[in-house]
Structure formats: structure tokens, C-alpha cells
Amino acid sequence: MFTMRSTLALAALFASAACVSPEDHRRALGANDALKAEIASLSAAQRAISQENEKLRSEIARLGKQAADADWIREQQDKLDKLIKQYQGGSGSGIDGVDVIRTNEGVAFRVLGGVLFSSGSVEIREQGQSTLMQLIGTLKAEGKKLRVDGHTDDQKISQSKWGTNLRLSAERAIAVADFLIKNGLPADHVGVAGFGEYRPAAQGSNDDARQQNRRVEILMLDK
């Protein structure tokens, strides 16, 4: 049982709790609302910072890729410069009838058809075999997949058994590919294509243009 003293103490406690004024109560509620608003503002700021950090990470990754691509481009250009210096005519170590060119697909050795084949033939001449043997070391060292592209001039075939320039260009590409494989290039790294007269290296129908267009290109594919 409560004693009289206990009853009086409990009553005093309730009386004390009930003594908070309406103004103090309003201030307490206002402070609570302000705290909630501050927490919400901090959360929004944190989300914005996270989004900005993600943007920065994406930008850093993009710039890193650009730098890597730039390094790769410089590396490929250096290789091309070295190949041109090594093989281009007039360099002292150049090969007659061979040019080094840069294409959209990679670096290619352009070999004049007159070096490789007699007119209308797909049999590689002795001179052509010697020329290809001088290229094989570099092709092996580069280790890239190759595509051998055959090309002809615009003169229609009248006496050859091949019938069309497209067929002749493909057969010549196959002959060169077979020679490369026979001399150590992996068969699964060598493909062929024939383009006939449809991708000329030089415009025109004079003898000089036709000589440039009769060619085989050994393309070292970038991909």
C-alpha cells in the first residue's frame, strides 16, 4: 500500500511533468522538425556526392582508355615507321617491288604482281619466292593474323583459263597463302581474299596505273 508520503511524491512528479508550457512544447517540436530537415538535407547532399563520384570514376575510366588507345596508336605508328624504314625502296635494305602501307585494318606489305607472277599465271616466280622469303621473318615476328588480298588491273581476261579477273586474283592470293604456310606461318593465321579490279591502288588505265594495280597485299590484321 502506498503511504501518504509516497502518494504525495507521485503527485508531485505528475505535477512537474505537466508543467511544460505550450511555448516550450512548440519549441521542442520545431527543433525536432529542424533536425529532421537537416538529416534529409545531409542525405540529399550525400546522394549528390555519390553521383558526382560515380561521374568522376566514369570520366577517369574514359580518360584512361583514351590514354591507352593513344599509346596503342603511337606503338602501331612506331612499328609502321620501322617497317617502312626497313623495307621501303631507297632505304638500303628495301625490297624491290614491295611497299609498306597503312590500311584501316592494319599494316600491309604490297607486292607488285609482276614480281610474283608471270602474266595470266598463278605460279609464283623464283623472284617472287625470294621476295616472300624476305618478308616471312617479319610476319612471324609480328605474330598477327594475316589476310592475303589479290588484285588485278582493269584489263579483261581473253586467253587465260581463269575466265575473270576476280577468279585470277583469288587464285593468286591462295598461291601466296599456300607459300607462306608451307614456309612456317600457322595455317589458322592466314586467310585469303580476291578483289579483281575493284579496289585499284592507282586510278587510271595507263600502263603505270595498271602495273600498280596488279598486286598482292599481305595484310597484318589489327584485330
Cα 193 to Cα 149: distance, rounded to the nearest angstrom: 5
Question: What pLDDT digit, counting tens, does each position of 124-145 carry?
Answer: 999 999 999 999 999 999 999 9
The model's pTM is 0.65
Judgement on whether residues 117 and 212 belong to the same structural domain of the protein: yes
Judgement on whether residues 110 and 192 belong to the same structural domain of the protein: yes
**pLDDT over 80 (residue 57):** no
Full domain range(s) for residue 42: 23-73
Q: Between these two residues, 222 and 136, which has the higher pLDDT value? A: 136
> Does residue 194 lie within any of the structural domains?
yes
Identify the CATH number of the domain in which residue 149 sits.
3.30.1330.60
- Cα distances from 35 to residues 8, 38, 40, in angstroms, run 38, 5, 9
Judgement on whether residues 189 and 146 belong to the same structural domain of the protein: yes
> Does residue 139 lie within any of the structural domains?
yes
Cα 214 to Cα 119: distance, rounded to the nearest angstrom: 10
Judgement on whether residues 200 and 109 belong to the same structural domain of the protein: yes
Burial of 37 (0-12, 13-18, 19+ CB in 10 A): exposed
**Number of domains, the chain:** 2
> Does residue 51 lie within any of the structural domains?
yes
Instruction: Quote the cell numbers at residue 172.
Output: 593468286
Question: What pLDDT digit, counting tens, does each position of 3-50 carry?
Answer: 555 555 545 545 555 556 777 667 776 777 777 777 877 777 777 777
